[in-house]
Amino acid sequence: MKNKDERGVIRSRSEPALNPNRLKDKSLAPSTSTSLAANYRNIDASYDQGESAETSCKGSDVRCLDDEDASWISWFCNQKGNEFFCEVEDDYILDDFNRSGLRNQIPFYDYALDLILDVESSNDGTLTDDEQNNVIESAAEMLYGLIHGRYIVTNKGLSAMLEKYRNYDFGRCPRIHCNKQRCLPVGQSDIPKLSTVKIYCPKCEDIYAPQSRHQDRILLIKYV
């Protein structure tokens, strides 16, 4: 049964009339949880998009805007698949003795060295061709790998690799009986580019392929 209220609005008997005075009580005010939830969803979506962009940027082979302040060495060692590398000190790289015999093995050697050390190239001419820049980037990675192989047998290099070993950065042995034994990176040949890096378990004394497909692509040249 329906009645008209004092303003002439038709209202069912079971529906209570709205009392304006009750709105003064915050506990009886309309809930805003729906709008707040929508706002939080928008914020979360924006955050996820930013985080996704940052993650994809970190996983790419191209230096991101956020990486501009980082050194090339730091950027390179933080790339996915390069977890086996430690950061070689600039002073070690600057010492000509530590780079002896490498010039003839690396194309665009001077450009690659300048790129590693984050210095303006002092060589004549400018390289604007993208293909040449890609070659220099690859040359820098190869040169750093060769220098890295020499650095990790020094006292400081061994200390850096020991820290990564203790942090399980090189992975664990897949055998159950080895009880997740820490592993070490190892190369099976002294010939550059002949093989990819493997991991060695000191408990079972066996060699395995890294679990990460990115790490498995690391050329042996970087650990010889």
The number of domains in the chain is 1
Kindly state whether residue 184 falls inside one of the protein's structural domains. yes
Kindly state whether residue 5 falls inside one of the protein's structural domains. no
pLDDT band at 215 (very low <50, low <70, confident <90, very high): low
Q: Which of 208, 190, 191 is nearest to 199 (CA)?
A: 208
Kindly state whether residue 116 falls inside one of the protein's structural domains. no
Kindly state whether residue 103 falls inside one of the protein's structural domains. no
Lowest mean pLDDT across 71-75, 129-133, 186-190, 210-214 = 210-214
Q: Please give the backbone phi and psi of residue 216, each rounded to the nearest 5 degrees, phi first.
A: -65, -20
| Dist CA 116 CA 141 (whole Å) | 8
- Report the pLDDT value the prediction gives residue 54, as an integer from 0 to 100: 45
Q: What is the mean pLDDT of residues 21-38?
A: 43
Kindly state whether residue 76 falls inside one of the protein's structural domains. no
Q: pLDDT digit string (tens) for 51-85? A: 444 444 544 455 554 556 789 999 999 998 888 99
Kindly state whether residue 133 falls inside one of the protein's structural domains. no
Domain range for 215 is: 170-222
Kindly state whether residue 21 falls inside one of the protein's structural domains. no
Q: Please give the backbone phi and psi of residue 208, each rounded to the nearest 5 degrees, phi first.
A: -135, 160
Lowest mean pLDDT across 51-55, 123-127, 191-195, 200-204 = 51-55
Distances (CA, A) of 206 to 63, 165, 221: 37, 17, 21
Reported pTM: 0.64
Q: What is the mean pLDDT of residues 148-175?
A: 95
pLDDT band at 120 (very low <50, low <70, confident <90, very high): confident
CATH of the domain at 191: 2.20.25.20
